[in-house]
């Protein structure tokens, strides 16, 4: 399994300033200028984990996945070629924006843009949260959280990520979401996070069903919930605890139209002893759908 972690997310936005406010005042990230109107959002000792690039639409532009080193990177690139996946090499300017030595990009069977890189570049400055926020984020060795990508053909998407990119299926669920039932596959990569990538059999006009960041304690999650509500954003799912990874989290809708999950306490897994399971409910408690209620 070549992919070590979810390294970064890149968003397009016509509202970069709105993202900056959301990130700093609600989520607790630290913004920095990334040049050409873009911003970096820092959550650990890396230079950024989220970058927001100016654009005309609100969209997840790409998810960036980290590979251990150059040899594994070249091997993965060859696997893509062998499986007729057309990839493009990132140029120097694109590498500089992403703070990586080298990356390629391609699209999955649903058109979601995936980037694979090796050699992240960082000043390793310590993360200092914005005033009034005590949290660091839980990322060390397990990536920035998880992202849920939409698919119109879940078996085909699962095969792509599992057989070509080497993700491992953690668990599956068919769950009620709003008015309908949605099939979701949760996948892990080469770290102990229960899922770094989920594939949801539903459309998503902005390319991102949701993404999740993890805080160290329930206190921090509760404080983030207060900040989110004080800022007037819409709660989507109440505070609850997931069955598959035990994460305690809430979901809200950002002004840019992204569903964002903020949680804590997700389980660390030993994949050598894991067997895939299906859950019949998403949460032990909570996570009640309240948007538009
Ligand atoms: Fe999630």
Q: How far apart are the first and last CA of the chain?
A: 43
Distance (Å) from CA 164 to ligand 1 centroid: 23
pLDDT at 45 over 80: yes
**For residues 179-188, average pLDDT:** 94
Query: What's the confidence (pLDDT) of residue 293?
Result: 43
Q: Whole-number mean pLDDT of the chain? A: 96
pLDDT at 178 over 90: no
Query: What's the confidence (pLDDT) of residue 40?
Result: 98
Distance (Å) from CA 91 to ligand 1 centroid: 32
Kindly report the three-state secondary structure assignment for every residue of 163-223: HHCCCEEEEEEEEEECCEEEEEEEEECCCCECCCEEEECCCCCCCCCEEEEEECCHHHHHH
Decide if 3-120 and 146-286 have a common fold.
yes
Whether the pTM exceeds 0.75: the reply is yes
List 214's β-bridge partners, or say none. Answer: 263
Query: What's the confidence (pLDDT) of residue 92?
Result: 98
| pLDDT band per the 50, 70, 90 thresholds, residue 152 | very high
Q: CATH number for the 3-120 domain, one of 1.10.132.20, 3.40.1640.10, 3.40.50.1820, 3.10.180.10?
A: 3.10.180.10
Domain boundaries, the chain: 3-120, 146-286
The CATH number given to 146-286 is 3.10.180.10
Distance (Å) from CA 81 to ligand 1 centroid: 31
* Secondary structure tally for the chain: helices H, strands E: 5, 18
Distance (Å) from CA 51 to ligand 1 centroid: 20
**For residues 128-155, average pLDDT:** 93
Distance (Å) from CA 14 to ligand 1 centroid: 25
Strand, helix or coil for residue 97 = helix
- By CB atoms closer than 10 A (0-12, 13-18, 19+), residue 2 is buried
Distance (Å) from CA 78 to ligand 1 centroid: 31
Q: Which residues of 259-284 are buried (b: 16+ CB within 10 A; e: fewer)?
A: bbbbbbbbeebeeeeeeeeebeebbe
Contact 215, 135 (CB under 8 A): yes
Distance (Å) from CA 210 to ligand 1 centroid: 7
Distance (Å) from CA 195 to ligand 1 centroid: 9
| pLDDT band per the 50, 70, 90 thresholds, residue 38 | very high
pLDDT at 276 over 50: yes
Distance (Å) from CA 179 to ligand 1 centroid: 19
Query: What's the confidence (pLDDT) of residue 292?
Result: 57
Query: What's the confidence (pLDDT) of residue 1?
Result: 64
pLDDT, one tens digit per residue, over 110-126 is 999 999 999 999 999 99
The pair phi, psi for residue 95, each rounded to 5°, is -65, -40
């Amino acid at each position: 399994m070549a992919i070590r972690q979810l390294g970064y997310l890149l968003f397009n936005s016509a509202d970069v300033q709105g993202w900056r406010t959301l990130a700093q005042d609600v989520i607790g990230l630290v913004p920095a200028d990334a040049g050409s109107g873009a911003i970096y959002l820092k959550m650990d000792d890396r230079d950024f984990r989220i970058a927001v690039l100016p654009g005309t639409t609100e969209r997840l532009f790409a998810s960036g996945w980290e590979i251990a080193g150059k040899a594994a990177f070249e091997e993965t690139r060859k696997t893509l070629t062998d499986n007729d996946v057309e990839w493009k090499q990132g140029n120097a300017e694109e590498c500089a924006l992403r703070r990586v030595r080298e990356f390629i990009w391609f699209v999955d069977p649903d058109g979601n843009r995936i980037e694979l890189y090796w050699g992240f570049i960082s000043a390793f400055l310590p993360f200092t949260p914005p005033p009034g926020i005590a949290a660091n984020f839980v990322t060390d060795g397990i990536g920035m959280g998880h992202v849920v990508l939409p698919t119109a053909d879940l078996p085909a998407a699962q095969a792509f990520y599992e057989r070509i990119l080497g993700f491992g299926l953690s668990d599956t669920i068919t769950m009620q979401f709003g008015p309908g039932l949605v099939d979701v596959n949760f996948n892990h990569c080469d770290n102990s996070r229960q899922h770094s990538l989920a594939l949801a059999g539903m459309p998503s006009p902005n390319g991102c069903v949701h993404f999740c960041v993890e805080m160290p304690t329930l206190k921090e999650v509760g404080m983030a919930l207060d900040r989110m509500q004080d800022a007037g954003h819409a709660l989507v799912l109440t505070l609850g605890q997931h069955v598959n990874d035990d994460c305690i989290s809430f979901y809200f809708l950002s002004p840019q139209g992204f569903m964002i999950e903020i949680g804590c306490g997700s389980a660390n897994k030993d994949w050598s002893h894991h067997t895939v399971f299906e859950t019949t409910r998403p949460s032990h408690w909570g996570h009640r759908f309240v948007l538009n209620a």
